Amino acid sequence: MQELNIPKHIGIIMDGNGRWAQARNMNRTSGHKEGAKAVRKAITHARETGIKVLTLYAFSTENWSRPAQEVNAIMDMVGRYLSAETETMVKNGIKMKLIGDKSRFSGSLLRTINESEEKTKDCKDMILNIALNYGGRHELIRAMQSIASLVKDGDILPGDINEELVEKHLDTYGSGDCDLIIRTGGEKRISNFLMWQGAYSELYFSDVLWPDFDNEEFDKAINFYSSRQRRFGGLK
Ligand code: FPP
């Protein structure tokens, strides 16, 4: 049997929580709650499969337009998830990093995030990036702002700006390029996720709604990746 070519870095757009709940006459928050259970399963499976970086899109910069109750419920869920799971993450060697703009988070959520990042910072088995108030363009704008300050202060010249320097100023610094982006819920869009890191990602779209995304579905995506021949613009 041919050996599986496991992606190093997987990004997931977890779509379909609302529709999952609607189909069961439940409210959208119940869908997100069920989605959080799928998050836990996916993290465990990724680690056991040998994935080195898992980036989960939990809340986009555009999601603020949802009803306040839903926004609060998602934020709350992420906070509770981190409080409950940080010790397990430490035990399992998972380094958690929050990617996105932290400036709009409540004080208590921010404290929970910082504590979880601090406690897991030396973990080496897998990086878990949770994208919360994240947008790929916004991440690039923030990177450009930091780089522009360096130029303004005379620390670097415009000609010193290269891919390596841009990467250093991204929230995902240390995670590298994303090899595979999975989107559940049937839509075929990237929705401003990992705009820089996903430049050469393989794309896998699944009709399964996020709460139903289990290990078997995850393996289908990994097998899809494994069967692809990546050329990065060259010839094989
Ligand atoms: C998309 O489904 C899902 C979200 C915007 C929220 C994802 C959040 C979680 C899974 C909660 C927990 C997260 C962590 C990291 C613990 P949707 O609401 O857009 O679904 P729809 O397209 O069916 O309406």
Q: What is the pLDDT of residues 13-54, one digit of tens each?
A: 999 999 999 999 999 999 999 999 999 999 999 999 999 999
Answer for the pair 158, 150: CB distance below 8 angstroms, yes or no.
Answer: no
User: H-helix or E-strand containing 134?
Assistant: strand 126-134
Q: What is the pLDDT of residue 230?
A: 67
22 CA: nearest ligand 1 atom? 23
Over residues 222-228, the mean pLDDT reads 94
Average pLDDT value for the chain: 96
Q: What is the pLDDT of residue 233?
A: 74
Distance in angstroms (rounded) separating the CA atoms of residues 185 and 206: 6
As beta bridge partners, residue 63 has: none
Residue found under tokens 């896998």: 204
Q: What is the pLDDT of residue 4?
A: 82
Backbone phi and psi for residue 133, each to the nearest 5 degrees, phi listed first:
50, 50
Any ligand 1 atom below 6 A from CB of 17: yes
Residue with CA at minimum distance from ligand 1 atom 22: 16
> Which regions of 61-113 does DSSP assign to beta strands (E)?
94-99
Distance in angstroms (rounded) separating the CA atoms of residues 57 and 139: 13
Q: Which of 111, 130, 119, 109 is nearest to 40 (CA)?
A: 130
Both structure tokens of 101: 């703009």
Residue 2: pLDDT band with limits 50, 70, 90: low
Q: What is the pLDDT of residue 3?
A: 72
